[in-house]
Amino acid sequence: MNIILSIGFFLPLFYFVLLMSKKNNTLSDKILAFLILAIGVHLFSFYLKYNGWWEQFPHLVGLTTPLIFVYAPLMYLYIYYSINNTELVNMKKSTHFLPSIFVSLYMSKFYFFYSEEEKRLVDLGLNHDFDTFTTIIYIVFILSIIFYVAKANVLMKNYKQALDNNYSNIKLVDLIWIRRFLMGFVFVFLPFIFIAVTRGLMKIEHSWNIELFSDFILVSAFILFGFYGIRSQNIFTDNDSGIDLSIEDNETINTAYENSGLKEEVAKEKHKELLNYMDREKPYLNPKLSLTILAENLDISPNYLSQIINQYQKQNFNDFINSYRINEFIARAEQNKHFSLLALALDSGFNSKSTFNTVFKKHKGKTPSQYLSSKPS
């Protein structure tokens, strides 16, 4: 087990250096680096405890306790800055670390004024000065994990909606790594939540060392997190400037439309112009078509164009453009049966096979081959 715990300390240091020195590293890379480093320090502390260093040097007891409240905020901020194309640090985000700061301040009397013997008794559970505080820490830790995971899920859901309203090919922005990162974070911390509930709140002592098991999972996750974190590029590719990728709830959107200043007669005229332009110029054949590009071609603001598509077509931008691409594909497939489906899809404006298959089945309820074979010859 010493080998695993040793890896759990040195591997985070290795990944921290790689992420910080990564070419064109972003703010999200730096946040991931510090998340990995923080958990690495936790693992090193457990390594010292496991090998009797806490008993030999009681001043080591509790030094990493405040760190448990930075894991979930750093996870959330990593996702936040990964899907928000900015390198500017929002100082308001520092409030996420207030619980960790408060714990550090509260424990300062333990760090600086307790003797070695008193610290040893606290670690062995023979001094009950911090029993209530420890229970509170367990509860807040559990709630923080739940809160930030839920918050990250909402953030990603809203972001996906914003992408649908601005991009015609969502493949431009690949969120697979972010989704896996969030799922991995939940999986890794489930054993720690179990420990917090059973041992911290229910006062159940396990017959086996569950902390070793949870740390083993943590080390294993490190290998994957660090590897994919180093390989991952900035989520944004070909992102248009000036697009607000934040999204509000539907009620807020409807209210914004009512107060947008776009007059109904102008909106109807622009809607008619949009449909004529789509039929005449076929801009959807451009796989990189975005709301901004189309708005520029129609001499209208992206916000007004988005409003027109949502109100008159009852679709977001992504579905609106892809409906044309699907019809284009079907027409080409009927006329050019000697071409492959992928070639026809790419010629129709799709940028990948996976995107094409996903979109086609969403709109038609069948795979492309099933749909074409079901049509009469």
Q: What is the mean pLDDT of residues 111-140?
A: 91
Inter-residue contact 58 to 111 (CB < 8 Å): no
pLDDT higher than threshold 60 for residue 247: no
The structure tokens listed for 129 are: 């000065």
Over residues 208-236, mean pLDDT: 63
* Residue 317 pLDDT exceeds 60: yes
Q: How sure is the predictor about 209, in pLDDT bands with cuts at 50, 70 and 90? A: low
Are the C-beta atoms of 327 and 279 separated by less than 8 Å? Answer: no
pLDDT value at 4 more than 80: no
Assess whether pLDDT exceeds 80 at residue 363: yes
Share of the chain above pLDDT 70, in %: 81
- Residues sharing a CB contact under 8 Å with residue 77, sequence separation 6 or more, in sequence order: 31, 93, 96
Helices 264-281 & 291-298 angle (0-180, nearest 10): 100
> What stretches of 34-137 adopt beta strand conformation (E)?
none
Q: Which residues pair with 290 in a beta bridge?
A: 167
Q: Of the candidates 230, 214, 227, which has an alpha carbon nearest to the alpha carbon of residue 42? A: 214
Q: What are the residue ranges spanned by the domains of the chain?
A: 1-233, 264-373
Residue 341: pLDDT above 90? yes
What percent of the chain shows pLDDT beyond 90?
44
Q: Which residues face 11 on adjacent strands? A: none
The end-to-end CA distance of the chain, in Å, is: 67
Class of the domain covering 264-373: mainly alpha
Q: pLDDT by residue (tens digit) across 33-91? A: 899 899 888 888 888 888 889 999 999 999 999 999 999 999 999 988 888 766 677 77
> Two tokens at 34?
């510090």
* Alpha-carbon span 37 to 70, nearest angstrom: 11
Q: What is the pLDDT of residues 264-298, one digit of tens each?
A: 889 999 999 999 999 999 999 999 999 999 999 99
The pTM for the full model equals: 0.76
Dist CA 248 CA 122 (whole Å): 48
Angle between helices 302-312 and 264-281 (to 10 degrees): 90
CATH number assigned to the domain with residue range 1-233, chosen from the 4 options 3.30.2290.10, 1.20.120.530, 1.20.1070.10, 1.10.10.10:
1.20.1070.10
For 276-289, give one letter per residue: b (16+ CB within 10 A) or e. Answer: eebeeeebbebbeb
Going from the C-alpha of 269 to that of each of 75, 263, 316, 358, the distances in angstroms are 46, 10, 19, 33
Question: How confident is the prediction for the chain on average, in pLDDT?
Answer: 83
Give the rounded distance of the alpha carbon of 132 from its chain centre. 34
